[in-house]
Chain A
Amino acid sequence: MFSAMKIIISLELERTFASRQGFIYILAFAFFWYLLLKYAVFNETLMMMNMVAGADGIADKLFANYFKVGMYFFPLLCLFIAANQTGSDRERGTLRFMTLYCSRDAIFFARFLSQVVIHYILILFSALSTLLYGLYGGDLSFQDISHSLISGANLALIVLPFIALMAALSATVKSPRQATFYAGIIWSIASGIISLMGHYVPGAEILNMLVPGMQFSQLTSLNGSAMFSLAYIPLVQCAVLLLLGREIMRRRSL
């Protein structure tokens, strides 16, 4: 199973990073990230520094801003990039070829892991670019690399349940567009309904645990390595969604 997964992951990475279409996506990402970095992260940080006379600790603020932007940007990106893990292949019939060579589990988990690797490369790029931008335009030093690593690692945890959600949805629906649509519904409407239920049914807030990103508001009040105290939430959500997606993948007709 693991050798099959390795082969599938390698092909998926080639699809993203070595194909013309993948190259266009990467360029689009780089351009969009540059705008976010310049205006939403760096300028915002400088503005905050100017507002507080004599403020120090630009690294803290820069990476706090980077994390806040990334916390919404990467899950949103995930809804699009990770939306086509198995859906199109199933509709086209390509999965019918693949399942003759390896298990559905191998395909499902390999496609999930491919997306994890792709997102981690993008997160690493974003963290490094923030660090470099800070070094070039601000008073950052190489010691501030730890801020960059902590923020990047937390973003890496945050995206996991979103990728798992897209894996499960992709195993269910017919097209990436449908997967993105349903993910939008789950992310926005479901959390709204759960909050509403909380007003009438005592303890209903616990259902929020099922919604990826439910810990975002708590995360913004934490700094540095304290953010890891909430790491269990995305990890548990990811595990539950992967088990659900795997079951859908196993039962679904091809």
Chain B
Amino acid sequence: MSYLIECENLTKNYGLKRALDQVSFTCQAGEPIALVGPNGAGKTTLFSILCNYFNGSSGKVRILGHEPGAKQLYGQVAALPQDALLDPAFPLLKQLMFYAQLKGFSRRAARVEALRVLELMDLSASAKQLPTQLSHGMRKRAAIAQALLGSPKLVLLDEPTAGLDPSNAKNIRQQISNLAADTTFLISSHNIQELERLCDTVLHLEQGQLKQTLQHKNTHKQNIQQSFLTIVLDSVSKQSFIENISQLHGVSSVLSENKNEFVIAYDGLKVPDLDQKLLQKLAQQSWTYRRLIKGKTLEEQLFS
């Protein structure tokens, strides 16, 4: 079976420091994949190996069945590398046309394609500007536009929305969602809420090791014995809420680590419709809620 990405015991050492330690995972094409972990966890190292910026010290990596850097992957794998800048000597349009031509577009088609991705990133007005004339956020969007040229099968985005204003960050999330049917995105970010919205599979790296792989969205769909609901309320007495909800049939615990946010653990086999019962209870008590999530938030799943 050919995976989109296949890593087997991937290790990378920088001198005595081990940046990646026997990392093994496989990813199928499909929904966006999140790569999370604290600073120094090895996310950028993993990205760099996948992009063939350098080799791992040991282990095996395959993308679409090929080694990173194989000629079969040119044009199939695109990336937003961390801190990489476009050439300051040429305007955006010229550079994007250059990359599109390298991807096999004719000169005329390359111009159309470059204008299309600039439009996607809301940069049409800056097409003739040099990268040095753009703000940090615009430069980042230009680099993302480069990653969207053609129809790559895999796009690796390292911190795509870091440093962007909320409106542009939202636009990038929208574009990722729109393109996810044809392209698989692997996104590294510290913004857990963003990843929660976009991604299905979550790879959690810590100190160079793959701590866990979560099928985030699927866990919400399953009714299993140990099920969870997460609810964020407007304003409520913590004590009163916990007492009331704990009395509902099937609820095993109600925990609150953040203000007005509660995680309810229950037996999903006994009470598959607890979410509806909870909403009825809220109505009875005149409590208003902001958000109800079936399952735990990604943050809870990763760090609790």
Interface residues of A (CB under 8 A from B): 4, 7-8, 11, 15, 19, 21, 89, 92-94, 96-103, 253-254
Contact = CB atoms under 8 A, between A and B. Distances in A.
A115 to B, nearest CB: 16
* Max chain B Cβ within 10 angstroms of own Cβ: one of A21, A92, A96, A99: A96
Contacts of B81: 93, 96-97
A50 B83 CA distance: 64
A93 B102 contact: no
Contacts of B52: 99
A182 B146 CA distance: 35
Contacts of A21: 89
B44 to A, nearest CB: 11
B77 A94 contact: no
Q: Chain B interface mostly helix, strand, loop or mixed?
A: loop
Interface residues of B, number: 28
A102 B77 CA distance: 11
Given A92-B84, A94-B84, A101 B103 contact: yes
Contacts of B143: 97
* Max chain B Cβ within 10 angstroms of own Cβ: one of A7, A93, A100: A100
Given A7-B102, A253-B54, A254-B54, A100 B79 contact: yes
Interface of B: 48, 51-54, 69, 71, 74-75, 77-79, 81, 83-90, 98-99, 101-103, 143, 146
B59 to A, nearest CB: 17
Nearest to A106: B102
A101 B99 contact: yes
B53 A254 contact: yes
B83 A101 contact: no
Contacts of A101: 74-75, 99, 102-103
Contacts of A97: 81, 84, 86, 99, 143, 146
Contact of B69 (A7, A92, A94, A99): A99
Given A4-B102, A103-B71, 16 more contacts: A7-B102, A8-B102, A11-B90, A21-B89, A92-B85, A93-B81, A93-B83, A93-B85, A96-B79, A97-B86, A98-B99, A99-B51, A99-B53, A102-B74, A102-B102, A103-B69
A96 B84 contact: yes
Contacts of B75: 101
Nearest to B83: A93
Nearest to A99: B52
